[in-house]
Structure 1
Amino acid sequence: MEVLYAVIAKPKARMSQPTSPLSTPCLDEFCRLDRLGLTVVGQQVAPDHTVLVCHVVAPGDVCPACGQRGTARDMVTRRLAHVPFGWWPTILHVRVRRYRCSQCRKVWRQDLRPAASARAKLSRDAVTWALRALVIDRMSVARIAQALGVAWNTANKAVLAAGRQLLIADPARLGGVEVIGVDEHVWRHTRHGERYVTVIIDLTPIRDHTGPARLLDMVEGRSKKVFKAWCRRTTSCVVVGTT
């Protein structure tokens, strides 16, 4: 009993103090909106989502055609899904100012490209978060869409586009690949569309006993022509044997 009492009465270790000096709370910095060129001017916290009303920091009042300063005409609101905080959707209502040039009569908007690509429904940080959630955390597209507060097709298109740009289009991903495996897989269980895909796997780590195999690509179709076309697009691939 004395030993048990000594264990219970042992004082707790102090929590480590932050090494960097504390700063004034900033919602822009916490939500990583400052690096997107946005600043928060209002918020609406609902039971199942949060809305952040933002303005574009850069004025953008210089006419892109003649270089003269324009006159503010009105404002339009663009809705963007942002990185979820607390697993609840965070929606950005970005108020974009429109200008009109008195010289050439051109009408333009503030530049929102640092925050999102043209006609995108997700912010750039939201796209990066979704891609990491799918590839690293192995979350389903349905769960990602639910966390972002968007439709399944919206999340799927954004992840596919980012994956092609950052992963598939990166030539360095094929560095050190010496042995590959090719197989077919049924990915569509419907009567419409191509049912099979060709799966290309890096088997070099298996041969060298350095780690597991690595998925390189999945190409629609399962013919020899499909695999040869992939080899021509990606690298100088020579088939020296099959098993």
Structure 2
Amino acid sequence: MLWALKSLVIDRLSIARIAASLASSWHAVNYAVLDAGQQLLINDPSRFDGVQVIGVDEHCWRHTGHGSHYVTVIIDLTPIRDGTGPSRLLDMVPGRSKKVFKTWLDDQTKAFRDEIKVVAMDGFTGFKTAAAEELPEAVAVIDPFHVVALAGDALDRARQRVQRETLGHRGRSGDPLYRARRTLRTGAGLLTERQHHRLEKVFTSDDHVEVEATWSIYQKIVAAYRNPSRLEGKKQLQEVIASLSRGVPKRLTELVSLGRTFKRRATDILAYFDRPGTSNGPTEAINGRLEHLRGTALGFRNLTNYITRALLDTGGFRPLLHPHLR
């Protein structure tokens, strides 16, 4: 059975492939392998040792059927901060709420909670509140991925609103704003000459001035994170947050809403620049790995099995089963 477990964790073979190699049934192999993985790897309490930086995010574990489709994933980001290895999945719990994350933290040992120094998260207030209550000494950090995503969403909403107001319908292939939708989300420093001309043509119209204003803020946020100097990048983002906190015309509803969020979470957003290596980006990478896992398995119907498979796939167990990977 150790061979089967190694095939699942190291080679990332499907249960069907392993069962075929063993000339056994899928159900028998699935039960035996997952049970072995639970006993030998997942239930080892030492895997929580040394965790100082965690990331928390939601994850959609299935896209069809009834019931909740979301779980909360908790990631160990300590190796990323220390430069010692990749991030790893610590746990996955059903639901996505303050209560879910708070309960998980409360279920851990006091020694574990006392070790946590940083919690990387998105803009969801529930995660922030849960961390503040259970980890009062830890610093909350909203990572660049989610900050840029918030600004990008505001840009998309502004483009869609102006599209409807000026042309009376949703974007179509021949509409200038719709054709520029991907170009608008591209960093200014990465634009090709053709994309520059496309944006110039879009912004020439007075009807699109609100889109241009929102695009300008989006680009300033991207530029702040791309600044090689963390100190300068922090100053740039502080200026953006300050500008959004005062004097934004009410007509720019998307920027008004973004400004409220940034003002409320300014400390958490700016904390990123003081803690190198603290990003929830690796959490998104693990979400991508889990999407691949679901594809390999042709989907999951049982959440308990999915959590076990997810932990075995992205829980950082490969070096334990294959010492040469250390």
**Higher RCO (CA 8 Å, separation ≥ 6 residues):** 2
Greater CA radius of gyration, 1 or 2? 1
Structures share a fold, TM > 0.5?
no
TM-score tier, shorter chain, comes to 0.3 to 0.5
Per residue, is there more helix in 1 or in 2?
2
Per residue, is there more strand in 1 or in 2?
1
TM-score of the pair, normalised by structure 2: 0.33
TM-score of the pair, normalised by structure 1: 0.43
